[in-house]
Amino acid sequence: KSTLFNLLTCFDRPDSGSVLFEGRELFGERPDRVVRMGVARSFQNTQLFEEMTAREYVILGTHARSGSSFTPAALRLPSARKRDDLASQEADRLLRLVGLESWREALAADMPHGLRRLLEIARALATSPRLVLLDEPAAGLNTQETTALGEVLYRIRDHGATLVIVEHDMGLVMEVSDEIVVLDRGCKIAEGPPRLIQKDPAVIRAYLGEEDADEL
């Protein structure tokens, strides 16, 4: 499933096929170009810049969106100062959105695992995406952290972004999804709203096994 995200964001190259986003072909683009086209993602394994504060890390996402040049920033031109001020304001807004406003000056190295997950999502949102791909955002989270994550996902959706989530926490998946696609060993075995997916025999067999499925 992570391989699917790698293909969609051009980290891996497909043998064949096509992916269209808003009528534009993604295959063949560089990953940074895909970001500027409006597609952002988080990764299954969070690898943050430990020496950066939460705010600085989110600001990185705004630079990825704009592809800003080094020269104005290096010379501290007025245009660069204005852009930096706007990026800082946007970072603060996104940290509030994911519930990390009180951590904005904290170093990434000092943040607990669950908060690092939220920080990675805020960084992805800083690129102003219309489509956000989240790769197992609940991995390693406890029940309380997963509940908080679900609330964040609702807020992101309410702000207009479309979310595509790869996730093994079925409780979270059923709670936040409008549509679910189930993959088993790389093949799609079901697609539909949560209420139908819960009852789908192919899904039950794939994830519970034949004997448990027969007992349902």
Q: What is the pLDDT of residues 51-96, one digit of tens each?
A: 899 999 999 888 876 655 544 555 455 666 777 888 899 999 999 9
160 found inside a domain: yes
The pTM of the full predicted model, rounded to 2 decimals, is: 0.84
Number of domains in the chain: 1
Structural domain includes residue 126:
yes
Is residue 9 domain-resident? no
**pLDDT tier, 206 (very low <50, low <70, confident <90, very high otherwise):** confident
Q: Is residue 1 part of a domain?
A: no
What does the H/E/C string look like for the chain?
CHHHHHHHCCCCCCCCCCCEECCEECCCCCHHHHHHCCEEECCCCCCCCCCCEHHHHHHHHHHHHHCCCHHHHHHCCHHHHHHHHHHHHHHHHHHHHCCCHHHCCCEHHHCCHHHHHHHHHHHHHCCCCCEEEEECCCCCCCHHHHHHHHHHHHHHHHCCCEEEEECCCHHHHHHHCCCEEEEECCEEEEEECHHHHCCCHHHHHHHHCHHHHHHC
Instruction: Give domain status of residue 190, yes or no.
Output: no
The pLDDT score that the predictor gives to residue 70 is: 47
Give a yes or no: residue 42 inside a domain: yes
Summarize pLDDT for 101-150 with one digit per residue, the tens. 999 999 999 999 999 999 999 999 999 999 999 999 999 999 999 999 99
- The range of the structural domain enclosing residue 88 comes to 28-173
Kindly report the average pLDDT of the chain as a whole number: 87
| Any domain includes 138 | yes
Instruction: Judge whether 147 lies within some domain.
Output: yes
Lowest mean pLDDT among 11-20, 30-39, 74-83, 106-115: 74-83
Q: Which CATH number covers residue 62? A: 3.40.50.300
Indicate if the pLDDT at residue 214 is higher than 60: no
